[in-house]
């Protein structure tokens, strides 16, 4: 007689227990046990004894069965621990909600074996088949990354759905509103936002002016300081450009029946001797000519302020729809669905990545329901509306490359390695390297990853060879995993946690075609109406949403999970757990470093503080 001691643990979250019947089957390399009922009224978890006529060998799999007694009662299983007759402890992480409608739940052991046992091979095949049926792709809009095939959060599997209203920013501390109110008109602050605002990836070094932007040395000579000129400043790497060409000819719609307008500006900036970045020339269209003047800091006050405001309006679209929506939310969903469809739960890469997709499928489904849908919030607050949104994201995806999602490559390609006071770069590179060391040390082998990587290439990059396929090569796995984790945590924090200062979502007059015709009243009349601005500022305020219908009835679960916090202990081996502890320790050191710097800073850059960086895209 072989006696096995089994401990089944329920998650320590609200209403995780169940009053239904739970039973367990142990599967070893030499046989399996009979199905053993654990307990009725199964609340916090329980211990039991499983008796077998013979030793089952190493326990490689468990099966959990659940039956309804009276009413359906969901159960959140944390893990199962089995102690064999020889004292060997086997741990099976679960971390899943189960209902009586679900098939028996099977969990393999800690090691991704070399497929020596047919039962394990069959388990992985069955698990992926079930997941591929549950998580299917669909096209939300032509030319967009594909997404999960659901229309409502109520269709989501309970394991990827949250049910509690979340605070939108938790403890995030955006730019101090008082500072913004006092300095929003200043050129210094205008330039600062390209480096350390919520859209820090659009600026690049300018070695030569494009023909469509006919700025002459004489135009900007007075803004460069003595003893230099435009050509010299470009040669020495102190001229930068922001080009919103992706907005060219995006159709504008109406708000409250009134026509709105969109511009596709270019902005030239100069790094002064004091290290500060300031705008020195702005053109509000991609086509130079008599009706598209180059605005300068020496122009009349309202001409120059309106030109800068048009740039900020363009930056609103670039930030919200490309930098934020496309490059974090939509790609984060692609990474999540591909992982669920192609990697079994026992795969070390699945265990490494799955915490970084926490609630991403829910928040994206919600966004498609209330934010970017026809008649949704974007339709109501932006000049482009839904039609412009669809076209803009399609154009934006055409520009996305694998390298542009990798911070070191992106910084280098944009020529932004040397400019001072670029906190997004400095803090981001520290975190990139920390994540790289972590995933490279603890990722395990490349087993079974080609199908996973190909699924991302096909459904995320839409098979465009111009996006680059380096990540499909085994030697590039560590870098690719770093990019996935960084995108779903650090990059999202950088572009989500900030305030949107002086970035109007719509403009009610067309861009000026001549200088000297803008005054205070025209400036005010060009800005969006007050209720439009209010809707822009509070896109997920409860006034817009019927939360009880959207979230569903499942009980609350802990929501905010910071970078490095892995509440679910999916790795049972000692070495991966040691690596996670080291990772957390390094993040604490980074936190202390950033807080020490911010303590003496006039304007704090705290978006990438690990204390304010979530593990996943969940808001």
Binding-site residue numbers are 17, 73-74, 324, 329, 492, 619
- CB 355 within 8 Å of CB 564: no
In 3D space, the residue among 485, 505, 504 whose CA is nearest the CA of residue 432 turns out to be 485
For the annotated binding site for Fe cation, the residues are 324, 329, 492, 619
> Tokens standing for 335?
């990474």
> Tokens standing for 274?
């004091």
Residue 179 burial class via C-beta count within 10 angstroms: exposed 0-12, middle 13-18, buried 19 and up: middle
> Tokens standing for 83?
């102690």
For the annotated binding site for Ca(2+), the residues are 17, 73-74
Residue appearing with tokens 């609340």: 43
Alpha carbon of residue 140 to chain centroid: 18
Alpha carbon of residue 186 to chain centroid: 31
Counts for the chain of helices (H) and strands (E), in that order: 20, 18
How many CB atoms are closer than 10 A to CB 59?
25
For 286-307, b/e burial (b = at least 16 CB within 10 A) is bebeeebbbbbbebeebbbbbb
Residue 248 burial class via C-beta count within 10 angstroms: exposed 0-12, middle 13-18, buried 19 and up: middle
> Tokens standing for 246?
């992706």
In 3D space, the residue among 604, 523, 617, 609 whose CA is nearest the CA of residue 196 turns out to be 604
Residue appearing with tokens 């990722």: 443
Q: Cα separation of 245 and 266, whole Å?
A: 8
> Tokens standing for 291?
């009706």
């Amino acid at each position: 007689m072989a006696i096995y001691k089994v401990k089944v643990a329920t998650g320590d979250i609200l209403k995780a227990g169940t009053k239904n019947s739970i039973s367990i089957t142990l599967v070893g390399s030499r046989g399996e046990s009979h199905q053993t009922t654990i307990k009725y009224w199964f609340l916090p978890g329980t211990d039991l004894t499983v008796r077998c006529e013979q030793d089952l060998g190493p326990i490689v799999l468990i099966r959990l069965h659940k039956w309804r007694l009276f009413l359906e009662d969901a159960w959140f299983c944390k893990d199962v621990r089995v102690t064999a007759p020889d004292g060997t402890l086997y741990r099976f992480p679960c971390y899943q909600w189960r209902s009586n409608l679900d098939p028996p739940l099977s969990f393999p052991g800690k090691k991704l074996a070399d497929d020596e046992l047919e039962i394990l091979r069959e388990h992985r095949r069955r698990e992926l088949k079930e997941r591929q049926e549950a998580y299917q792709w669909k096209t939300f809009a032509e030319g967009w990354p594909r997404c999960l095939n659901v229309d409502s959060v109520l269709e989501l599997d309970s394991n990827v759905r949250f049910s509690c209203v979340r605070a939108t920013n938790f403890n995030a501390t955006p730019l101090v509103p008082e500072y913004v109110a006092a300095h929003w008109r200043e050129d210094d602050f205008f330039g600062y936002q390209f480096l350390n605002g919520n859209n820090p990836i659009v600026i690049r070094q300018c070695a030569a002016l494009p023909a469509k932007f006919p700025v002459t040395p004489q135009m900007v000579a007075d803004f460069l300081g003595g003893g230099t000129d435009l050509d010299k400043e470009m040669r020495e790497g102190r001229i930068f450009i922001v080009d919103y060409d992706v907005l060219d000819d995006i159709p504008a719609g109406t708000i409250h029946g009134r026509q709105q307008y969109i511009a596709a500006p270019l902005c030239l900036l100069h790094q002064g001797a004091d290290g500060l970045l300031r705008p020195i020339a702005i053109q509000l269209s991609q086509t130079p000519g008599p009706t598209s003047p180059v605005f300068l800091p020496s122009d009349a006050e309202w001409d120059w302020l309106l030109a800068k405001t048009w740039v900020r309006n363009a930056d609103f679209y670039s930030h919200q729809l490309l930098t934020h929506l496309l490059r974090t939310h939509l790609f984060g969903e692609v990474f999540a669905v591909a992982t669920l469809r192609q990697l079994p739960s026992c795969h070390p890469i699945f265990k490494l990545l799955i915490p970084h997709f926490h609630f991403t499928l829910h928040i994206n489904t919600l966004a498609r329901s209330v934010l970017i849908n026809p008649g949704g919030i974007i339709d109501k607050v932006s000049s482009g509306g839904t039609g412009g949104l669809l076209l803009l994201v399609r154009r934006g995806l055409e520009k996305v490359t694998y390298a542009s999602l990798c911070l070191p490559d992106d910084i280098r390609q944009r020529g932004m390695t040397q400019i001072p006071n670029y906190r997004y770069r400095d803090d981001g590179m520290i975190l990139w390297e920390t994540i790289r060391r972590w995933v490279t040390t603890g990722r395990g082998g490349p087993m079974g990853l080609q199908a996973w990587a190909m699924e991302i290439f096909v459904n995320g990059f839409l098979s465009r060879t111009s996006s680059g396929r380096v990540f499909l090569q085994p030697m590039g796995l560590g870098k690719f995993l770093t990019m996935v984790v960084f995108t779903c945590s650090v990059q999202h924090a950088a572009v989500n946690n900030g305030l949107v200062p002086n970035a109007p979502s719509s403009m009610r007059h067309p861009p000026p075609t001549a200088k000297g015709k803008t005054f205070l009243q025209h400036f005010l009349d060009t800005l969006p109406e007050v209720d439009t601005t209010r809707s822009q500022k509070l896109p997920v305020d409860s006034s817009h949403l019927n939360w009880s219908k959207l979230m569903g009835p499942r009980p609350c679960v802990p929501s905010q999970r910071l970078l490095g916090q892995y509440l679910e202990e999916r790795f049972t081996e000692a070495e991966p757990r040691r690596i996670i502890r080291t990772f957390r320790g390094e993040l604490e050191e980074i936190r202390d470093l950033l807080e020490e710097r911010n303590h003496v800073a006039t304007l704090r850059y705290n978006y990438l503080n690990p204390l304010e960086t979530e593990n996943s895209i969940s808001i």
